[in-house]
Homo-oligomer: A and B are copies of this chain.
Amino acid sequence: MKEVLLADNPGIDNIIEYLTANSGKMIRPRLVYITASMSEHDPSVVRDIAVAIELIHLASLIHDDIIDHAMIRRGKPSINSIWGNHASILAGDYLFASAFNLINSHGMQAIMENVTATIRTMCSGEISQMSLAGDIQITEEKYLEKTYGKTACLFASSCKVGALASSMPGESVYALEQYGLCLGYAYQILDDLLDFMADSKTLGKPAGNDLLEGNITLPVIHALKNKEYGDRLRSLLKNQHFNEQKIALIIELLINSQSIDYSLCLSRRFIAAGIKHLDSLEPGPAVKELKYMAGYLLVNYYRQIRHNEKQIQDVVQI
């Protein structure tokens, strides 16, 4: 990744060194690798497509962090907190252009079409969601629409472009894309749950941070509809001045109203649906790995809310 990005230009190269030294879980490029591995493919093409997908993800994170004034990313100071908004906007643009440059170098038109369309969807989706910030009238349907643009469509794209980089039949490409879509929904729902359930040290930000930013997520939407707890939650959310104590009360309410469980259950359903899409594919190590990745989302969730490994094995049946 670093090799692709370095520009022999100290301004951008410092940012790149920092970015590449603090890589994340690399879920999206791993999806590219695994899906491509299921059929004949050129490893150097697949590597570049995987890098491009991670660059697009990184670019969107950098731009999101400017938008959210986020000071921390992956447990380290964010790009904008070190280099300022100015350089961060440009660094994001630079990563986007580098990703497209890389994909184009292999002349794979269908992949470029999918990736550019995905970014259009991500951006237009996020813009249209802006008006929903802090809106407690938001429905579960709207939440899922938001989740599609924010996360699921790039997960789907990661699987699809990996598949397209190999010589796979159309139906298999479609099945993998659907698997990625489900995985993306599950990932985001669990991530939203962690915002309430993980401790702030693990999160690297205060619990309930989404509420502070007006991001109304699934457990809150669910609890607001609850006859017994809805009104109490509405009054807690009313004047928006969230302190630690108030957040703790909200979290307790989300647990008692079964809204955490409901959300967990929905993410499990997405994981199951994603795995189901793999049924049409020939069994083998790649399918096994994709199933493992789906299940791992839950393992990761329970780890972060500090269940011990024994408890996790009991709860997660992959």
Nearest residue (CB) in B for A102 is B116
Taking a contact as CB atoms under 8 Å apart, the answer to whether B91 and A123 are in contact is yes
Taking a contact as CB atoms under 8 Å apart, the answer to whether B63 and A130 are in contact is no
Query: Which A82-134 residues sit within 8 Å CB-CB of chain B?
Result: 85-87, 89-94, 96-98, 100-101, 104-105, 107, 109, 112-113, 116-117, 119-120, 123-131
Q: Tell me whether chain A's interface is mostly helix, strand or loop, or mixed.
A: helix
Say if the beta carbon of A10 comes within 8 Å of chain B.
yes
Nearest residue (CB) in B for A106 is B109
> Which residues in B have their C-beta under 8 angstroms from that of A87?
127, 130
Distance of A10 Cα from B128 Cα, bound (Å): 7
Taking a contact as CB atoms under 8 Å apart, the answer to whether A131 and B100 are in contact is no
Residue-wise, chain A 237-271 has the 8 Å CB interface mask toward B (1 for contact) of: 00000000000000000000000000000000000
Whole-angstrom distance from the CB of A115 to the nearest CB of chain B? Answer: 8
Taking a contact as CB atoms under 8 Å apart, the answer to whether B85 and A124 are in contact is no
Taking a contact as CB atoms under 8 Å apart, the answer to whether B90 and A116 are in contact is no
Taking a contact as CB atoms under 8 Å apart, the answer to whether A93 and B96 are in contact is yes
Contact of A120 among B89, B101, B109, B129 (CB under 8 A): B101
Contact of A124 among B86, B94, B131 (CB under 8 A): B94
Distance of A104 Cα from B119 Cα, bound (Å): 14
Distance of A86 Cα from B68 Cα, bound (Å): 8
Say if the beta carbon of A67 comes within 8 Å of chain B.
yes
Query: Which A33-64 residues sit within 8 Å CB-CB of chain B?
Result: 59-60, 63
Say if the beta carbon of A305 comes within 8 Å of chain B.
no
Q: How many copies does the complex hold?
A: 2
> Which residues in B have their C-beta under 8 angstroms from that of A9?
124-125, 127-128
Whole-angstrom distance from the CB of A11 to the nearest CB of chain B? Answer: 3
> Which residues in B have their C-beta under 8 angstroms from that of A125?
9
Taking a contact as CB atoms under 8 Å apart, the answer to whether A66 and B89 are in contact is yes
Distance of A129 Cα from B12 Cα, bound (Å): 10
Say if the beta carbon of A316 comes within 8 Å of chain B.
no
Q: Show 13 A/B contacts (Cβ-Cβ < 8 Å), sorted by A.
A: A7-B120, A7-B124, A9-B127, A11-B127, A12-B124, A63-B93, A87-B127, A94-B127, A97-B117, A98-B116, A98-B120, A101-B112, A104-B104
A residues near B (Cβ < 8 Å) are: 7, 9-12, 15, 59-60, 63, 66-67, 85-87, 89-94, 96-98, 100-101, 104-105, 107, 109, 112-113, 116-117, 119-120, 123-131
Nearest 7 pairs between A and B by C-beta? A11-B128, A101-B116, A97-B119, A11-B127, A94-B123, A12-B124, A104-B112
